[in-house]
Amino acid sequence: MTEQHTQTTAQRDAVALFETLTGHAPDGLWSAPGRVNLIGEHTDYNEGFVLPFAIPHRTVAVVGRRDDGRIRVASTFAPDAVEVGVDELDSLFPALRQAQGPKAGAEGTGTGAEAQAEAEAQGPTAEAQKPTVPEWAAYPLGVAWALQQAGATASGVDIAIASDVPVGAGLSSSAAIEGAAASALNDIWGAGLDRVALARIGRRAENEAVGAPTGIMDQMASMLGEPDAAIFLDCRSLEALPVVVGAAPAGLAILVMDTQVQHAHSTGGYRERRESCERGAAVMGVPSLRDVSVTDLGRAEELMDDVTFRRVRHIVTENQRVLDTVRVLREQGARGIGDLLVASHASMRDDFEISVPELDTAVEAALAAGAIGARMTGGGFGGAAIALIEEDSVDAVSDAVATAFAERGFAAPHLFTVVPSAGAQRDA
């Protein structure tokens, strides 16, 4: 019922694609992982707290230099390569950057990391349009553009991409592409940026090249992942601390239940939630919902309409759940966090309203089969849920979830276990 993961297939496929594309061997292989968010959903763009970890599933970028000033990207999940000139990068995404309006001018008020931080702080707008290249290509080309904007001297490269991170499952397949491409180009172009700076490059690419109004959690998790640790990230300061999860030593496993219902951050539901959060912060007179505490919710309820209040309540209580989860992991270990996972799912289902029947079914079936805790993970509107279960019950819980899906007429879920894993790296 479940599968054991290896990453060699993506490496082999990416090298084969590169050699078919170019007729010669590459200069190197880089990879970056997807992620599971243990807890802390939609808190990242509210400058709150998150607790993700990198997973073994990775995206591989195989890269070779070329001397004609052209960038060519190819992928195993698209039929045609896309090629542009280095001097064309700035014109690839005009609709998106024009949609920023006057705020986009912030990009010109600083250089390098300063300009990147200013542009990032402005955030995307709801009017941002689709990129002028295929969306899959906008990720690596957006990374190239963002690196160039941050001061890197861009030169010609061929990039071949393969991945075993499930797409549309809420496991950050996009951040994995960004992390692999950013790591590769950072080395090839000699940009010398650290991992946090590369995470910000990835986020800028996703916001301004792809048009998805995401926070920075996914990119930070992909860049900073560590074996057997989640990353406790303060999304305001970007301070990141590893927190031992300790599931395996406690005899536990983390089961991913991919519903096969695909989601997309660049579509309306995600934007609407973000806009509700911004309205709520404005009503409360604070820069972001990070500055609203649980004790402030009574006043918030008096000031807001019901929908906005429930969106705010999710963010505020989810931030507290992240803090509580970190404390419990440190004091009690993984067995103590089950109720927090369950409460998080209920909040996303009822207050933030980003669950779907398949996600609820996965969570309910896993809990009924004995899971210690379960919740949807990722941006919502589809994707995956996770369950913290006894290691010796993986098959039984998987069977229960699959049976529940079949009884409701849903497509069969994709079920697999994950462990916290290493972040982006050069593989060869």
Active-site residues: which are they? 218
Residue with the two structure tokens 């994707």? 383
H helices then E strands: how many in the chain? Answer: 13, 12
DSSP 412: P
> Do 29 and 62 touch, CB atoms closer than 8 A?
yes
Rounded Cα gap, residues 277 and 240, in angstroms: 24
Rounded Cα gap, residues 409 and 387, in angstroms: 22
- Give CA separation, 122 vs 185, 213, 405, in Å: 25, 11, 42
Rounded Cα gap, residues 271 and 126, in angstroms: 7
How many other CB atoms are found less than 10 A from the CB of residue 237? 8
Rounded Cα gap, residues 386 and 388, in angstroms: 7
Reference 314, options 357, 287, 278, 277; nearest CA is: 277
> Do 309 and 326 touch, CB atoms closer than 8 A?
no
Q: Which residue ranges make up the annotated binding site?
A: 41-44, 75, 168-174, 206, 270
Widest distance between CA atoms in the chain: 66
Q: Which residue ranges make up the annotated binding site for substrate?
A: 41-44, 270
Rounded Cα gap, residues 52 and 260, in angstroms: 21
Torsions phi, psi of 115, nearest 5? Answer: -65, -40
DSSP 264: -
Reference 383, options 406, 408, 403, 363; nearest CA is: 363
Rounded Cα gap, residues 123 and 102, in angstroms: 12
Sheet strands side by side (includes 373-377): 373-377, 384-390, 252-258, 414-418
Q: Alpha-carbon dihedral of residues 162, 164, 167, 170, nearest 10 degrees? A: -130
Burial label, 196 (beta-carbon count in 10 A; 0-12, 13-18, 19+): middle
Q: Which residue ranges make up the annotated binding site for Mg(2+)?
A: 174, 206
Reference 376, options 354, 405, 399; nearest CA is: 354
Rounded Cα gap, residues 218 and 202, in angstroms: 9
